[in-house]
Structure 1
Amino acid sequence: MTDEEATEQVREDAEETEATQDADAEEGDERAETDHLGPDSTQLVAEVAAQDAELATDLEGHLAQLEADKRGAEERADDLESKLKRNRADFQNYKKRAKKRQEQMKDRATEDLVENLLDVRDNLKRAVEDDHENVESLKEGVEMTLKELDRVFDDENVEEIAPEPGTETDPQRHEVMMQVESDQPEGTVADVYQPGYEMGEKVLRAAQVTVSDGGNGE
């Protein structure tokens, strides 16, 4: 071994010895500090460390539960959104079907009415085309046709609006043509110029009436 190598070896041994002495001194300081805290303090430190570990575990569990709840809420929200879309589509289809049924019912009602009026038209046509020996026979035919028409109106719940003289006027059902001299109370119906018709609660045509001026006609 050369002198340089011997010198380097001595230097390394000295550094290793110094590091060992520093580590022993640090360990001694830690033991001295622990001994200085005493056994109660040491136990307290251990308990705090255990509680911290337990709290950390609980926090991790709570966070995991929150994440699971979040995923569950998102899944339920997606499910509800899908149901809402289906319900909207079903409602639109229902509206289309209801509208179609309504149109079909309207068409069917019109067909039924026309079918019922066919016999009335046939009777009127015969009354016009047939030769009648006298006016009475023609009148009888017309009266029969009128009865047939009234029957159709009854079946369709159509009623005539023909107020009696002295009836209070109703702007929804009566159309006042003029004011005339009459012994009826002023402003009431004096006479019916043309009857009206209503179907159920719907006025098809208001009755045209004259109203009294409250005079006695003298």
Structure 2
Amino acid sequence: MSDEADVGHDDPEEQHAEGDAAAGDPADDAEATEAALADAVAEYDDGLAAEVAALEREAAEASERAAELEASLRRTKADFQNYKKRAKKRQEQEKARATEDLVGRLTEVRDNLVRALDQDADADIRPGVESTLETFDRVLGEENVSVISPAPGEDVDPERHEVMMRVDSEQPEGTVADVFKEGYEMADKVIEAAQVTVSDEE
């Protein structure tokens, strides 16, 4: 009878062991958590390392691009300086050629004056002087220079005429009576105003 009672009851130690087996080992759980955490940290580190590497590549590319742009800027600046020097030199050459051309035409006027003076003292040099004046006026015209010589009775233009004095004249009051000295203008710009007298009341 006691044997039958024993059959119905398990050993308490065996029951405790079975309970421990069912609950699991806390040490194993901790190791699993640490392993999972280590894997997560390792994965994060790998991702962070990849991001750092990408940023480093971008920084290197940006630095290289900046160096290229700086070099291009230096070349452009040097090219512009060279262009300015060439333009200035070309302008000076053109100015020198223009001056040389003008001087060459003025020497023709001087030659005419020399020939007029080489005539005999009693010779009439007026025709020669008139011819020289025509040549000189032609040279001035080629340089876009015109003579300011208002006619008597013409209205006074304060920008082109300089009034020297008022005189009694048959011309209408306040108009040009006579030209004391002719003036000059070049390309519509007055170089020297004509000096005139103005008619006053009789």
Query: Is TM more than 0.5 here?
Result: yes
Q: 2:155 aligns with which of 162, 167, 185?
A: 167
Equivalent positions of 1:131-210 (< 5 A) are 131=120, 135=124, 138-164=125-151, 165-171=153-159, 173-181=160-168, 183-184=171-172, 186=174, 189-210=176-197
In the alignment, structure 1 residue 84 sits paired with structure 2 residue 81? no
Alignment gaps of 5+ in structure 2: 1-23
Cα shift at 1:113: 1.0
More helix by share: 1
Deviation per residue, 1:52-85 (Å, 9 max, x gap): 6555433322222221111111112222222222
Aligned counterparts of 2:176 and 2:43: Cα–Cα separation in 1 = 97
Tell me whether 1:71 sits opposite 2:66 in the alignment. no
Q: 1:102 maps to which residue?
A: 91
Q: Structure 2 counterpart of 1:124, which letter?
A: L
Separation (CA, whole Å) in 1 of partners of 2:48 and 2:68: 30
For the 8 Å contact 1:162–1:207, the answer to whether it is kept is: yes
Code of the aligned partner of 2:116: A
C-alpha deviations, 1:102-149, integer Å up to 9, x for none?
Answer: 2222221111111112222111111121137764xx322222211111
Aligned to 1:29: 26
Q: Secondary structure at the match of 1:131?
A: coil
Amino acid at match of 1:150: D
Amino-acid identity (%): 51
Task: Tell me if structure 2 keeps the 8 A contact 1:169–1:189.
Answer: no
Query: Aligned partners of 1:88 and 1:151: how far apart in 2?
Result: 46
Total equivalences in the alignment:
176
Residues 166, 33 of structure 1: alpha-carbon distance in 2 compared, 3 angstrom cutoff: same
Describe the shift of the 1:56–1:143 C-alpha distance in structure 2 as closer, same or farther (beyond 3 A). Answer: same
Q: Which amino acid counterpart does residue 204 of structure 1 have in structure 2?
A: I
Length-normalised TM-score, structure 1? 0.65
